Structure 1
Amino acid sequence: MSTVQTVTYDEALTILDRLRPPSRTEMVPTTEALYRTLAMPALASVTVPPFHRAMMDGYAISQADISDLSGKTLPVRGVIGAGQTECYELDAGSAVKVMTGAPVPDGTVAVVRKEWCETSPDGRSVTFLESVQRGESVQQRGEDGRVGDPLLTSGTRLRAQDIAVLAAFGVRQVAVHQRLRVGIVTTGSEIVTNLDASLEPSQIYGSNGVYLQLALRDEQCEVPLVQHVPDDPQQLEDVVRSVAGQVDVVLLTGGVSAGDYDYVPGTLRRICKTLAMERVWMRPGAPFVAATHQSTVFFAMSGNPAAAFIQFETLVRPTLSAMAGRPYQPFALTAKLADHVAHKPVKHTRFLRARAAIEEGQLVVHCARDQSPGLIKGLAHTNAIVRMDSHHAEVGQHLSVQMVSSFRNDF
């Protein structure tokens, strides 16, 4: 019998990082790149703004007229609206009416807002009611950026506002990391995956497959395979062999411990020859298998929903995120503990489901009272995971925290 490979949580992260295959990139239209991750920096294709422009409706004036402006009256030579191409050269002793966003005439040093002006009834002259400084309400050409300027760095997950920036600078296409293809294989003869089916005695509805599909969607992964396998070693091996090389990652849940019906570790050992790890010193979720075969990475997690949730959020999600070109450091935040927490002393790192909130300007976490890995209802109230490397913590103590899933960047 081979020795079970047990590693610490931090060692597990290092091992998983080494399992990452090289990422692949592709070019996509900028407007179709929402939530995709940049594989290369995005550079400006045009200068913004491409001309000196007015930032307010008002009157353009020249250098000769800016001094002692209050009370001065000047003739109005013409009007320029946004998008118009009329070209005026502003001479001393005259003004040009301009609209917001319009190009200002050559020689303009300031635009005097219309509310600071009094226009004659026929619109042919304007009297200035206030003085202004040079540069007032004029945006210089290239003030926002010039051709070739870096706009966004590689690793940026594109939000709507990021794409708006790229569009403004004429970026038509961006290089992004290809979406990971991830297969899901749930196991267990007691699991019913069809919610329309009635439960027989000793059966339960499965939640791991549903959770993983939606969590992977949050990571912008493609999920071409979702399959459930009963506790049958041959069926399990057939499925694993059939998906090897077809997807980037396979996530298995259930059958991963050391029981008589826990076939996953042995199956992966036969197919992959060696396992990168079999157990992690963590609670919940100590049984965790990682291996590779034919360019596919396999992660096998607990069948208990809460344990699988912890394993995915603390081990799998960081790895998938790094594979997709946007690595992040788990548990980079600290939060003040709202409750006293005490457990039996063990060498494991504990991960506690919790609810985080900003209270009086501080990030505070409230740990769930019952941390049993077999209980799932509490996940509905969980938006954070607390890391504990000791067996107790006092109220007010600061502990490492990781926000969950979509909440990860909220704080």
Structure 2
Amino acid sequence: MYHLIILALALSVLQQQSLPTAGDIQAALIRGDFLYFEARFADSISLLQPLDAALEAQADRIPERIAIKRSLALAHIGLNELDAGKALFADIVQLDPTFSLAPERFAPKVIKIFEEAQAENRNSCVTICNAAVRERRAGNVDVALQQVRSAPQCACSTAVTLDVAETVYRQGIELYKQSNLQDALKEFRKALSLAPQHELARQYVQLIQEKNRVAAEQHLLEWRKNFTAGDFAKAAAAYRDLLSISGEGGTTVLEQVRNEYQKALASFVGSWTEACGKHDGVEMDRVRQQAIQMVPEETVGREFLARMGSCASKRPCIRVDSAMMLSRIRSFTPFSSPVVQVFEGRVVRVQINIDENGNTSVEQLSGGNTVIDAFLKSALEEWKFVPTIVDGQPRCVSTEMKLQL
């Protein structure tokens, strides 16, 4: 029953999507070995397979994975499932190319199958590494890297990776000689990622970073000179130079420049808003065009330019005498309704607004009731007036009328 308890524990761990502990693994391995020596191979496989699956992606638990796979391989060979046993031995060799089985502890049949798995792995590694070397010599370093990264267990992959790192470093040197510092920096960093101990690549990274820092300060001075002088085209060019080394010594300086742009744009928004409040369309257009000319790229000015898109400010309506407004009626609906007859003689005060297009809206009614108010609102909002023009522009007007039904 003990092995069933261990199996239940392993399955429970998997179902809860949590990893088995080192103690769980050790207990299962001990029980698995006992089952193996009792020739209960199928029980041993049932016990260990869930644990093997649970640890499949755990790169930090290689020794436990190897121990489980070794016990599984022995159990499969015990059932005469030789291909399954060899596949598990192949997994072990890929996890640790130096792993070996002591001939004095295992049957010749087991040793033979393990050695076959080793030989097949070596042949596979040689094929992969030779292909990687050919790609590297052809200048296809990325393809070469893909080859060796597909077989990290191969001993030859380390040498090929270092060889590729050297090739990448030399490409960086050529770019550096051409004054293409930013692309050279990418190559030197790539070389370092492949070979962290490549001291020359590290020195070139530090050298280019220092050059970028000095260049950023020079671009900042050039930008400030042109920006202060109002030469926004040259300032934008200096900004783009800074942008090209962003993250390589120019990040802090670039943030300073962006902050200066934002302050200036905020000032433009303030001027535009003031002009909007005065309904000064000429000034609004002038301010917005100046802001557009100043912006070095869309991302810097998008928010501020959007705020200068349309003027939503409305001037207050002009108060006008009702007699004058009645003289400007273009069309109206007569008060002909049973409501008028029922409430004949009732006096109602009405405040209306007439917009720039002559349309009427009822703002307030007093002296009536719910029925009268609904009727008058509906009738009055059908009235049309000749627009009122002030200083050459149509204006909203407000008036109060006394109506007797």
Q: With CA pairs under 8 Å and 6+ residues apart, which has the higher RCO, 1 or 2?
A: 1
TM-score after normalising by structure 2: 0.20
Q: Quick check: which one's helix share is greater?
A: 2
